[in-house]
Amino acid sequence: MTGSHTPTETESQVASRLAGQPIDFNSMAVVSNLFRAANAVRNHLERTVLAQHNLSWTAFVVLWVAWVWQESETRCVAEESGISKATLTGVLKTLEKLGFTTRRRSEKDGRLVIVGLTAEGNALMQRLIPEFNKHESELAAVIPTGQRDEMADHLRAVTTYALASDQ
């Protein structure tokens, strides 16, 4: 009733609270653990890797997308970062203030804004990417070697389905 509960305690409490109802517990476990994992990993990487560079998780993702393509339209960066256009405007304001990204109008289409990386932004990613990948390796190491590709495939399939459901 009081104090902290272990995941196992919580799951059995959930089962007893939902006893008798037609609930798909397997699917519930997959989805809820998807969020638990994403949340835990995100907080972990934010504290260990990103905090010392004054980067939020989203700022890093945006920086990553910008680094991958070097020059990219705003709407494309937002979509690939998984955030809304409105959010991207704010994040780019932060990244620009930190001196990592640039913004310029497209000559061909006056509506578009092209996002680019500064030399500092490229240098930062040059150091950050290997460090980040080292942590990714440690995290994925808890999954048996032969099942990592399968895991990534399943996650891709879930993403595709969720995005398709939003049309």
Smaller CB distance to a second copy: residue 40 or 90? 40
Residues 18-37 that bind a second copy (CB under 8 A): 18, 21-24, 26-31, 33-37
Interaction of residue 88 with DNA, rule CB under 7 A: yes
Residue 104 phi, psi dihedral angles, 5° rounding: -145, 150
Interaction of residue 89 with a second copy, rule CB under 8 A: no
* Residues with Cβ within 8 Å of residue 117, at least 6 apart in sequence: 63, 66, 67, 70, 100, 101, 102, 125
**Rounded least distance, CB 24 to a second copy, Å:** 4
* Residues with Cβ within 8 Å of residue 66, at least 6 apart in sequence: 72, 77, 101, 115, 116, 117, 121
Among 54, 86, 110, 130, binds a second copy (CB under 8 A): 130
Interaction of residue 123 with a second copy, rule CB under 8 A: no
DSSP state of 147: G
Look-up of token digits 């560079």: 53
Smaller CB distance to DNA: residue 92 or 117? 92
Please answer whether residues 99 and 53 qualify as being in contact, where contact means their C-beta atoms are separated by less than 8 angstroms.
no
C-alpha 83/C-alpha 81 separation (Å) is: 6
Binding mask 15-54 for DNA (x = CB under 7 A): ----------------------------x---x-------
Residues 58-77 that bind DNA (CB under 7 A): 58-59, 73-75
Interaction of residue 111 with DNA, rule CB under 7 A: yes
**Rounded least distance, CB 105 to DNA, Å:** 8
